[in-house]
Structure 1
Amino acid sequence: MTASYLRMPATHILTRSDLDDTELPPAEVIGLVEDAYLSYARGNSRCPTKLMMPLPNEARDAVSYSMLGYDGALQQVGFKTSYRQGSESAEKYYTTISLYDDTTGLPFAFMDCHRVGGSRTPATTAIIAKHCAKQDARSALMIGTGAQGVNTLPYLLTALPNLETLRLFRTHPDGIALSLSTFARHFPDRRIELVEDVPDAVATSDIVVAASGRAAHHKVQTAWMKPGGLLISVASKGVEAGALGQADYAIATNEGQMGVTGKRLAGPDGVPHVDAELPDIVAGLKPGRRSQTDRVFAFSSGMIITDIPVAHALATRGIAAGRGRRVELWK
């Protein structure tokens, strides 16, 4: 009877609290995400363009989207869904991911995706900086203290240990406190400089990461960057619509997804054009920049191929620790 029970199709359901204290060091997450980009560039993984559906009630400003993908390294299929009512509301934002094991043909896990996104997004930022920042980059500015930004500076410093100056533009007290405490946990001997003047901080930083809301500051322009600067937009409303056109070299994690979520950055023809996609840069098929003086603009949009390995690592550790519930939805 026990053997029959274990053969029943079942999935492990993991809540946000189940995963809260599951450790995934920045270096490990960066490695998982970079390997996912390599697998995709080599044709071993699949990642169709994100499906996004704005809802008709403009007063609520709600958005919903889904992603489907296959990680060829892990041989896992993933389905991710997100819904948010109000583009600025973190309280009514719900995101989940389902994993299916393609080697056994069985479901593996269904879980909250908040922690996954909060890990793979800064990992992607760090990978962009690693491959696209100028060779002697020594300073980085983080704009925003939301869920996408809290882990960014420790991940950047992990990927680029030669960074000397780390800056943060502060907006929300709770976000500032969490950003500082998160950074101190990873780098207790380093300090973050809090800044007030965004244009000045952009002009004096080699790497600028914008993951902020639309009203927190003057919208960032690529033209503010000094020669050789790198501006990374993490789905940021705080970046000027002309930022793409102002760049000497433009990249995206995925050009197709930029056409879905980054249309406002397009040129006069309404179509965003980029010089290279991140997976090809990681694989050495395209350069991260043409010269050390290029002002580079990078549009970071989540690809589920990077969610899958991070979710799998979290789920595997959570299940091994006895977290979550095994549910037989199909019996």
Structure 2
Amino acid sequence: MSNALHVLTRSDLADIDITPGEVIELVEEGYLAYARGESRCPVKLMMPIPKGERDAVSYSMLGYDGSLDQVGFKTSYRQGSASAEKYYTTISLYDDATGLPFAFMDCQRIGAARTPATTAITAKHCAGPGATSVLMLGTGVQGRNTLPYLLTALPGLERLRLFGTHPDGIAESIATMRRYFPDREIELVDDVPSAVAHSDIVVVASGRAAHPRVHTEWLKPGGLLISVASKGVASGALRGADYAIATSVGQLGVTGTRLAGSNGEVVIDAELPDIVAGRAVGRRDDADRVFAFSSGMIITDIPVAHALATRAVAAGRGQRVHLWK
């Protein structure tokens, strides 16, 4: 056995095939293993960089996936929240069964897969009965995959709408949908409040959004609002909900406290892992306006990273580096 580390770049991983259905299954199993007590996921660390107008922030996450016996360390650094040009994220995997390092890899592809998978899982468990319409706000790296993932989890969705301001992001969102669902069309919208009011599921993954910040009260009765750690959701969105969930209350306390409103009190009715495991409900009533806060948990990054790394290594990608030689 070797203690060599497989180093996998963004280009090494770019064309490794993995379907939305496969990613959803991996992420859902990650939540289930955590709910069973087999995995560990401490709250992420966030550190703003105090350097004038630079607007930089760094994150770090550590976790253990008990279903795969893999330990993961993830780091992220972003300089300027209005652009992804200086956003760098990596993940390291270690095999807890053998005690050996496995992979060090770019994490952009992983986040672009597990984030929409979490959105799809949330919608599957928390959308109102008979949901047929969805509105996606944002066309960043993670948002571009969201609609096909939602359609994979909820094949009964009939109306797919999108708001975006970046032509490349809009084009990529449409191209991604056609890749997986060539017979489905995406409707572009410009009146966000009206589109929110007429959608069963609303996903907000916009940054410094060029749209009015979305209020939970705009939802129709029975609507579901999913915030992907988004600045496009109004402060106090939690208080406007009839039922509130989070992927993790601890993560919400790090990255989403503004959603509680002026008093800063964070009240969550259920966490997503418990809902997936059947220990909590996704909503109390069919008419509830449900707010869901989605923040990345490394227990969902690890299985997606492991699947991509395993396939990339089998395809001869990357480099083997003997750091400890």
**Which residue is 1:53 aligned to?**
47
Counterpart-to-counterpart distance in 1, 2:197 and 2:237: 14
Secondary structure class of the residue paired with 1:53: strand
**Which residue is 1:310 aligned to?**
304
Equivalent position amino acid for 2:253 in 1: G
Equivalent in 77, 85, 103 of residue 97 of structure 2: 103
**Which residue is 1:133 aligned to?**
127
Counterpart-to-counterpart distance in 2, 1:163 and 1:219: 25
Secondary structure class of the residue paired with 2:238: helix
Equivalent in 146, 152, 157 of residue 152 of structure 1: 146
**Which residue is 1:285 aligned to?**
279
Secondary structure class of the residue paired with 1:21: coil
Equivalent in 68, 71, 77 of residue 77 of structure 1: 71
> Is structure 2 residue 16 aligned with structure 1 residue 22?
yes
Residues 264-306 of structure 1 deviation map (CA, whole Å, 9 limit, x = unaligned): 1124442321100000000000000000000000000000000
**Which residue is 2:265 aligned to?**
271
Check conservation: 1:259, 1:271, Cα contact below 8 A: no
Q: How many residues align?
A: 325
Check conservation: 1:210, 1:238, Cα contact below 8 A: yes
Residues 296-324 of structure 1 deviation map (CA, whole Å, 9 limit, x = unaligned): 00000000000000000000000000000
**Which residue is 2:196 aligned to?**
202
**Which residue is 2:223 aligned to?**
229
Q: TM-score, normalised by structure 2?
A: 0.99
Query: What is the Cα deviation at residue 8 of structure 1?
Result: 3.7
How do 1:167-186 and structure 2 match up within 5 A?
167-186=161-180
Query: What is the Cα deviation at residue 216 of structure 1?
Result: 1.0
Gap runs ≥5 in structure 2: none
Query: What is the Cα deviation at residue 89 of structure 1?
Result: 1.8
Question: Which deviates more from structure 2 when the two are superposed, residues 40-49 or residues 214-223?
Answer: 214-223
Identity %: 75
Counterpart-to-counterpart distance in 2, 1:126 and 1:58: 38
Residues 70-90 of structure 1 deviation map (CA, whole Å, 9 limit, x = unaligned): 000000000000001111120
Q: TM-score, normalised by structure 1?
A: 0.97
Secondary structure class of the residue paired with 1:155: helix
Equivalent in 219, 224, 241 of residue 213 of structure 2: 219
Check conservation: 1:262, 1:272, Cα contact below 8 A: no
Gap runs ≥5 in structure 1: 1-6
Root-mean-square deviation (Å): 0.7
Secondary structure class of the residue paired with 1:141: strand
Equivalent position amino acid for 2:288 in 1: D
Sort the Cα spacing of 1:170 and 1:267 in 2 relative to 1 into closer, same or farther, 3 A: closer
